[in-house]
Structure 1
Amino acid sequence: MTIERRQFMAASVIAALGLRGSAAGAQTPPPVSSGGLPPGLPQPVETIDLWPGGAPAALARPLVETVNERSTDSLVSDRAVYGITRPRMAVFRPDRPNGAAVLLTPGGGYRWVVVDKEGYEMGRWLAARGFTAFVLFYRLPGEGWSSGPDTPLADAQRAMRLIRHRARDFALEPERVAAMGFSAGGHLCADLAARFAATVYEPVDDADRHSAKPFCAAPVYPVVSMDPAVAHAGSRQLLLGPSPSRERERAHSPDRNVPAGAPPHFLLHAEDDDVVPVENAMRLRAALKARDIPVETHLFASGGHGFGLRKAIGKPVEVWPELWRAWARGVGFG
């Protein structure tokens, strides 16, 4: 069922959710479909808009933010959001912050952002272990933004800088901000880790004085290469258009742009992934190794694509979050 709204929650609903403080209440709220929310699952009640004066770049046509609830189970949400014009972060605060934060970039093939399966579920898992999690609602590059394929990266860079700028509000150590992304969101994660210093928007305030470089990066079953031989065709077309040049493909393939100062990486992929070929992760691994960037790689024989947390249950791949956590400790993050 698809629900189109210019605002997903009225002020009375925001108040009912108990947003923390007037600053949080002034932000764009998380999306809610007409079917309501599953009982018992903590929902984010705090959001941070990325751009105080509105998102940079111009739109070719007006957009209406839309929520597509794909789940038929009343106990589980699977919302896909598109038409995002107010990019923002939904925040999951732990009861006892450990001083570290993770910026989560859900996937969706650059067609939409799957906020539950690869965002909120991981946000809850992280918050339960002391991490402050920020789920990014990023703008989609195929929806007519004048910034084109750099549109999601601009949002990801700004998100990293805002988290650091507001570190004190969340009891964070500013340098300890990691990135984790899934599928097309894995491409955005890897792109951020490769092009954190690229100028893709003009600074708007003091937050932009901070670095956008993640402390460490975890692209999970990521789209990486724009080489048509291994690329996820849908993500490639929405990011680059139908007939991109070789130069354009290269510019937006993170494996072709790894800098000497890239952060440590954790890579995860299933070899039976029939949506995004495992070669994507392997190309990124090879590029990181060539630059002597620390990288840990986990390949599972089975798991398919888009397993996140919920679809990994009962399979060998379900151990992956603890593998990430152990690796994060090893690089000084967890």
Structure 2
Amino acid sequence: MIDRRQALIGSLALSLASAARGQTAPPRIGAGAPVAGLPEPDETIDLWPKGAPGAPPMPLIEIVDERSKDSALADRAVYGISRPRLVVFRPRIPNGSAALITPGGGYRWVVIDKEGYEIGRWLAARGWTCFVLFYRLPGEGWAAGPDVALSDAQRAIRVIRARARDFGIMPDRVAAIGFSAGGHVCADLATRFAAMAYRPVDAADVLSARPDIAAPIYPVQSMRLPFAHAGSRTLLLGATPSPEREAAHSPEDQATPATPPTFLVHAEDDPTVSVENSLRLRAALRAKGVAVETHLFTHGGHGFGLRRAAGKPVEQWPELLLSWAKTQKLG
């Protein structure tokens, strides 16, 4: 296990090396791969050419924690993100579709492996060009407050579209996929893609931030108790948000007929994020005439991603997602 100080030193060293290439390196612990034989991605895109707007008064230090006790599995989490960026997974043969992936972490941190790189590698092996988003966290003092991750997600979709030709993708075939609190980022983007979350910074910002499809997976969604995930709610909105503030940041209350077709997956035995989050979002989307594909599984718990779904019926969810995406002309 590498301690936090080593993680910080490794991350800084990689950032300095990457600065010579003009982009910030992926969050890492040291220079090597944490799992033997599994290469680390190295291509990144910084979202904000002049730095992220509304920085907190005290500069943040990006820290990566390794939480895994299994040498065959990495389980890293990063916080103190001041340079939001996309980590790119290129397929050998692009199929023209792209996915913006927003990992979870309860808005406390952003999970790197099980809800980021693993699904990025899996989709890239099937022709998708994937972009894992390391977004800023709302509890770390950014001026945008609860909209800070949304502004990064909006900007990310626009940057992907602006660079579509570079990656062999079609600008009208961009999906958003998010997990847990990253599912909130995904659903927030799908319902509030047109909100003015930041001031335009370059030509990319004239492009639409609306994803063509959205897939919030076991999402944090409602900000109302008892359905809300308490930790995410507090970090996003504070300890005692008003009903108006809860509604403003609950995708179920922000759905419109323009919300993109949506794919939902949840386990009914999820002990962390109630399945009511997906059910309430489904009902709200259907009420607005939005096409919704919903898959509920008896067993799966929370945070299953790919690794914890193995050997259970819920392991079918990625294939179900791809099959549904084809009906929406992606993949």
**Do both share a fold (TM > 0.5)?**
yes
What's the counterpart of residue 13 of structure 2? Answer: 10
Structure 2 residue 34 is the aligned partner of structure 1 residue 32: no
Structure 2 residue 176 is the aligned partner of structure 1 residue 179: yes
What's the counterpart of residue 88 of structure 2? Answer: 91
Helix, strand or coil: the match of 1:217? Answer: strand
1:223-263 deviations in whole A, cap 9, x for unaligned?
Answer: 00000121000000000011111110000000000011110
Note the C-alpha offset of 1:63: 1.1
Provide the alpha-carbon RMSD of the alignment.
Answer: 1.7
**Aligned mates of 1:29, 1:181 — CA distance in 2:** 22
Helix, strand or coil: the match of 2:189? Answer: helix
**Which letter maps to 1:10?**
A
**Aligned mates of 2:324, 2:184 — CA distance in 1:** 20
Helix, strand or coil: the match of 1:223? Answer: coil
Helix, strand or coil: the match of 2:106? Answer: coil
Alignment map for 1:306-325 (pairs within 5 Å): 306-325=303-322
**Which letter maps to 1:32?**
R
What's the counterpart of residue 196 of structure 2? Answer: 199
- Contact 2:11 / 2:63 at 8 angstroms: preserved in 1? no
Structure 2 residue 114 is the aligned partner of structure 1 residue 112: no
- Contact 1:6 / 1:65 at 8 angstroms: preserved in 2? no
Note the C-alpha offset of 1:86: 0.2
**Which letter maps to 1:271?**
E
Q: How many residues align?
A: 327
TM-score, structure 2 as length reference: 0.95
Note the C-alpha offset of 1:58: 2.9
Note the C-alpha offset of 1:332: 1.2
**Aligned mates of 1:10, 1:265 — CA distance in 2:** 40
- Contact 2:15 / 2:25 at 8 angstroms: preserved in 1? no
- Contact 2:98 / 2:175 at 8 angstroms: preserved in 1? yes
1:20-47 deviations in whole A, cap 9, x for unaligned?
Answer: xx99x32100122149421121321100
**Aligned mates of 2:231, 2:251 — CA distance in 1:** 17
Identity %: 64
Note the C-alpha offset of 1:49: 0.3
- Could you list the structure 1 runs, at least 4 aligned residues long, displaced by more than 6 angstroms after superposition: none
- Contact 1:9 / 1:32 at 8 angstroms: preserved in 2? no
Note the C-alpha offset of 1:175: 1.1
Which deviates more from structure 2 when the two are superposed, residues 295-304 or residues 36-45?
A: 36-45
Helix, strand or coil: the match of 1:149? Answer: helix
Which consecutive residues of structure 2, in runs of 5 or more, have no partner in the other structure? Answer: none
**Aligned mates of 1:31, 1:90 — CA distance in 2:** 9
- Contact 1:60 / 1:146 at 8 angstroms: preserved in 2? no
What's the counterpart of residue 301 of structure 2? Answer: 304
